[in-house]
A and B are shown apart, each in its own frame.
Chain A
Amino acid sequence: MRRLLPLSALMLLCQTSLAATAYVSNEKDNTVSVIDLSTQTVTETLDVGMRPRGLLLSHDNKLLYICASDSDRVQVMDLSNRTIIKELASGDDPEQFALHPNNKWLYISNEDDALVTVVDVDSNIVMAQIDVGVEPEGMAVSPDGKWAVNTSETTNMLHWIDTASNELVHNTLVDQRPRHVEFSKDSKRLWASAEIGGTVTIIDVEQREVLKTMNFEIKGVHPDKIQPVGIKLTDDGRYAFVALGPANHIAVVDAKTWKILDYLLVGRRVWHMAFTPDQKTLISTNGVSGDVSLIDIDSLKVTKSIKVGRYPWGVVVTP
């Protein structure tokens, strides 16, 4: 009895923290899986464009934006009835994107064309196309709205775009194949992963200077398999989570001291992650094993894996 009590209390806690819905893009199925996080089951599978990868939500959580890479468009889904209401002029092969805090300007990486396209999502007008390096991939807009940063995988750079002028003003060389960038909530730090370099670089935004380049090491995993991709930072500034691709682990990093706290075993080839709105649970997409892992952030334990479609890639969560 005594041992059961805290367990049931924990379960109750889990229940409340998971009353949310996750959307997962399945790259090789041309679908989006809908997961009810209160029951932890896939409740619906939605047909979308070809090779869906990056996903993001409008800041009011009403719209879901989908990069349908092989359809060469960004689709907009109304989440009230889960239908595609609009397709945006995204440029060719959109892979990742980021929405400006004004909820209007969408910054899209066009992987095949070495461009970043900026689209006004209301008018569907292309506001700018900015030349960047070869194979632009990661995309982030700072929470204060000043910077849009793009990563180019073959050029190995972070490209800093001033959102006021939509012009490229600075480039930062990082390690091989930068895949993802993430700003801290206060817009002061930028975290960038380098897949082939095997590193994560932390950059001071104001000076645009590299503060730290982190390496990862997992016992029993060959260093070549440690390929950082997705990064997520908790709003409270406590943790950074780094998805390590074919190493099948997520690194837990102290976001203040930059010390690695733990490595969590998830599914195979872990790509990207998303928090639940209460930031109590982290969800990762595991491409090769075709599932998502749920991680409890208080205990830093993987609690569940849920089967989705083939090659899950992007994930977002609505309340």
Chain B
Amino acid sequence: MRTLIFLISLACTSASYAATETTTNLEIAIGYLAYQPAPRPLLSNVIPEPTDAGLRGAELALVDNNSTGRFLKQNYSLSSHSSASAEQLLAAAIKQHDAGIRLFVVNAPQTILRQLATQLPDSLFFNAGSADDELRQSACISNVLHTLPSDAMLTDALAQFMALRQWQRWLLIVGQAPEDIAYAEALRRSAKRFGLTIVAEKHWDFSSDQRRSASAEMPLFTQSKDYDVVVVADKAGDFGEYLPYNTWLPRPVIGTQGLTPVGWHKTIETYGAAQLQKRFEKHAQRWMNSVDFASWIAVRSIATAVTKLKHANPAQIRALALSGQLPIDGFKGRKLSFRPWSGQLRQPIALVHPRSLVSTSPQEGYLHPHNEMDSLGFDQAETTCHLSDKAL
């Protein structure tokens, strides 16, 4: 459908680089593919989600790459395509592939990601859109790396904090969408992993308008055996926004609403993050979110690898990423890297409230023999994936 080609020209660089000798530039073309279905109707629809999440992050990273690239004679370009149809997205990917693109950033559900990766086996895909746990645990795809944190990483980050705060008894509330059910599954796993108890589980299937009757509906709905905290799985924000302050017992709400684990948020400012936030806001005229960040760091990871390798061969970028020898700077206070077994980018997870950063996991004291960040999500022993053993 809408195809935008960003070519950051070298013409804008000033005369002060005249001193650098001129040989041919290394051209690195990256494709950005987004699946954008029409949004489903939501109860809590007051604050709309940005429709260009992901793309803006990739664009900013392209600018970052090219400002470095001009010193290293690398020139990055981005072709982007978004579509409401999986078939059209696949067709666009093939077109980009025909034009020579072998590196892709994908913001799409796992079914579409899987189709793309199977269709173009000689290309490397960065998953910036799907938090699906299977992709990192049992059904890893050999030509896919993940920059978006998985559900398990998010819920482990939350559970560590809960365990530390001694909020041990959970009331779990689950929405009806498949991604809510998957998130709830991740929550159950995390609860077990960190020794927390789910005292009751309820499934949201009400059809009343909560904007008018939240105060009446939610207290009744959250009646249960005593709990320390209400844990909610409602990714799209259908009903969860009405839970805080409306629970039967005066308890905090966490999960997809209330205290939320995220890959990125406006309130992250330390370790140089303030500068990334400013650059992003200048570029996109809005706050950076987790999908923007995942797309940004995917494109930055490509540049980090290309600078090291001095070429853009997808198989070798993949091999370098999975070798553990590709430290990535993600403004998160730690050196980030890809897990050799699943291709998941290790990263700290922020626990945020809409206007404040509450904590960052891994929590102090959760030790790990190799890397504390591997206490979040599927560790090597918990997965059947061995990506680094195979070549592309």
A→B interface (CB under 8 Å): 93, 111-112, 114, 130-131, 133-135, 152-157, 167-171, 173, 176-177, 196-198, 222, 224-225, 246
B19 an interface residue at 8 Å Cβ cutoff?
Answer: yes
**A167 and B327 contact, Cβ closer than 8 Å, known pairs A134-B68, A173-B72, A224-B335:** no
Size range of the chain B interface in the assembly: 20 to 34
Assess whether B19 is in contact with A167, with CB atoms less than 8 Å apart: yes
Assess whether B67 is in contact with A133, with CB atoms less than 8 Å apart: yes
Closest beta carbon of chain B to A234's beta carbon, Å: 29
Residues of A within 8 A of B19 (CB): 167-170
C-alpha gap A20/B61 in the complex (Å): 46
Assess whether B67 is in contact with A196, with CB atoms less than 8 Å apart: no
Assess whether A176 is in contact with B68, with CB atoms less than 8 Å apart: no
**A155 and B71 contact, Cβ closer than 8 Å, known pairs A111-B275, A131-B13, A196-B335:** yes
Assess whether A171 is in contact with B327, with CB atoms less than 8 Å apart: no
Near A by CB (< 8 A), chain B positions 1-24 give: 13-14, 16-17, 19-20
Assess whether B17 is in contact with A168, with CB atoms less than 8 Å apart: yes
Residues of B within 8 A of A93 (CB): 278
Assess whether A177 is in contact with B329, with CB atoms less than 8 Å apart: yes
Residues of B within 8 A of A225 (CB): 334
0/1 interface trace, chain B 144-183, chain A, CB 8 Å (1 if under): 0000000000000000000000000000000000000000
Which of B13, B67, B371 gathers most chain A CB within 10 Å?
A: B67
The 8 closest A-B pairs by CB, nearest first: A155-B68, A196-B329, A224-B334, A176-B329, A168-B16, A171-B71, A169-B19, A134-B67
C-alpha gap A198/B328 in the complex (Å): 12
Show 6 residue pairs from A and B whose CB-CB distance is below 8 angstroms, ordered by the A residue.
A93-B278, A153-B272, A171-B71, A173-B72, A196-B327, A224-B334
C-alpha gap A269/B72 in the complex (Å): 33
Contact of A135 among B275, B328, B333, B335 (CB under 8 A): B275
B→A interface (CB under 8 Å): 13-14, 16-17, 19-20, 64, 67-68, 71-72, 272, 275, 278-279, 282, 304, 307, 327-329, 333-335, 371-372
C-alpha gap A169/B328 in the complex (Å): 28
Residues of B within 8 A of A173 (CB): 72, 307
Residues of A within 8 A of B335 (CB): 176, 196-198, 224
**A154 and B64 contact, Cβ closer than 8 Å, known pairs A171-B71, A176-B327, A222-B372:** yes
A156 and chain B: residue at smallest CB distance: B68
| 5 further contact pairs, Cβ within 8 A, besides A154-B329, A176-B335, A224-B335 | A93-B278, A130-B16, A133-B71, A176-B304, A224-B334
**A133 and B68 contact, Cβ closer than 8 Å, known pairs A112-B278, A112-B279, A176-B327:** yes
C-alpha gap A170/B19 in the complex (Å): 8
Assess whether B372 is in contact with A114, with CB atoms less than 8 Å apart: no
Assess whether B329 is in contact with A112, with CB atoms less than 8 Å apart: no
B337 and chain A: residue at smallest CB distance: A224
Assess whether B71 is in contact with A197, with CB atoms less than 8 Å apart: no
Residues of A within 8 A of B371 (CB): 224
B61 and chain A: residue at smallest CB distance: A154
Closest beta carbon of chain A to B147's beta carbon, Å: 17
C-alpha gap A167/B17 in the complex (Å): 8
Closest beta carbon of chain A to B270's beta carbon, Å: 9
C-alpha gap A224/B279 in the complex (Å): 26
Closest beta carbon of chain A to B337's beta carbon, Å: 9
Contact of B68 among A154, A168, A170, A246 (CB under 8 A): A154
A172 and chain B: residue at smallest CB distance: B71
A161 and chain B: residue at smallest CB distance: B16
Residues of B within 8 A of A133 (CB): 67-68, 71
C-alpha gap A133/B72 in the complex (Å): 11
C-alpha gap A155/B307 in the complex (Å): 10
Assess whether B67 is in contact with A155, with CB atoms less than 8 Å apart: yes
